[in-house]
Amino acid sequence: MITPIVIERDHFRGAVASYNNVAQLKGNPVRKTALGIVLALVLAAVPVALFSTTAVAGDAVALRVINGQYASQQTIDVYANGVEVVTALPISTAADITLPAGSTNISVCKSASAGVNGSGVCQNKPSPAQPTAQVGPTISTYVLVSGDNDVLTIGGGGPPQLDFNDLASTGLGEFRYTLHNATFVGTPLDVCIGGVKVVTGLAVGASITVDLTAQQGAPYAVFTSAAGCGSPSANVNFVAGTNFVQTALASNPSSAAGNQVLLVGEGTVPNNPDTAAFCKAIIGLAGVQPALKTLVGNVDPTSTQTIINTQPSVADMQAFYNDTLASLQAGDSTVPATIQPSWATSTAGLRKLLQTFQLAGYQLSNLPVDAVHEIVEGANGFKLPGVPPDQDVAAATAALTAFYSDTCAAAATPVTPTTPATPVPAAAHFTG
């Protein structure tokens, strides 16, 4: 049986903004308060624990290293260009690391070894003599591309297998499924999702990626190629804007090490720029902060059981999701081109929070306790200590604040009468 999802901890950098840091806005106090609420959560990207790393900044690569060996059953150390980057990795487990982009020499040693020499060759410890420290070839060389998210699967006595995970956005309402058939699995594989065969006969050592319509609770199975779909091994939430990655391992096909969920984003609704409508969409999001606080602010994140005892109902979680998504799509469909990049960056954290709710089946108790703790703190407006603001989010927040101040709030200001004797009716006008 294949375990469909492994939940891991990762952070969206950026803290909840202080109301005192929100730029002063033109217009009435209600509008100023409303935008302040929006900026406090939506535009500052609440830090949320995620399922796997998606990408890395700068000249680096996110790499999942999987110990998938099945013959020698060894705990391993991994070296990149002679530097130890993974220590004592047990069989059928994974480690997520970051490496510099470029040509990289990978050496894999048994954890009983004394490390590698200057040529990248694994060395035995001094007496008493250990069995050979080598696991597979001495050195395997790979070219790692900046910004990628890759999987390096080790096992079978051959070179580690490097597989690429697609981080491009999916279509609107679609998710991406990726299967890597590691070289030591030894047989072609089929995949059925929702009772439909979406992969047939994927050869050993090959990979495939398909985009499909998002489904909640879809029957899912990976199995040796055969007629029909057979019995599903699990029901999985395949969420729009995610890449569900399965690396099949012969050592333990049900190992969670072979599963990742990457949040890659999805296409948006068709855009017809309309400044007035977009201003209304910004105001529409003002209800997100209090709604989220009402929804999860009183959840007790001490343990999984306390979360179960205090979490909102699935129906209430779905209602929050539907209402918030409607507000986001209203903004997507009307945002002017000049402010669109800032709108996308500012709302990315909220979109990923919605994806997280879906991936968890609208039940917080399906998330790690520390993830729920962060969500609850964000809903209640607390900053995470030691987490600096994300500079891109801060810049986008400032740009969107300026847009609101100069355009939306200014447009709502009545025009002064031209003469005392002949009043001119109030009319909207734009200054930017």
Tens digits of residue pLDDT in 142-172 = 999 988 899 999 876 678 889 999 999 999 9
Residues 134, 136, 138, 139, Cα dihedral to 10°: -140
Using only C-alpha atoms, the chain has a radius of gyration, in whole angstroms, of: 25
Residues 6+ apart with CB under 8 A from 422: none
d(CA 47, CA 365): 18
- Token pair, residue 309, equals 């005892």
| Residue with more model confidence, 91 or 26 | 91
Q: What is the pLDDT of residue 310?
A: 97
Largest CA distance in the chain: 105
Q: Which of 324, 325, 294 is nearest to 312 (CA)?
A: 294
Q: Is it the case that residue 353 has pLDDT exceeding 90?
A: no
Q: What is the pLDDT of residue 314?
A: 97
Model confidence over 314-332: pLDDT tens digits? 999 999 999 999 999 999 9
Q: Which of 363, 404, 329, 372 is nearest to 46 (CA)?
A: 372
Q: Is it the case that residue 250 has pLDDT exceeding 80?
A: no
Q: What is the pLDDT of residue 24?
A: 23
d(CA 272, CA 148): 33
Q: What is the pLDDT of residue 254?
A: 61
| Residue with more model confidence, 113 or 274 | 274
Q: What is the pLDDT of residue 313?
A: 97
Element of type H or E holding 247 = strand 242-248
* pTM given for the model: 0.79
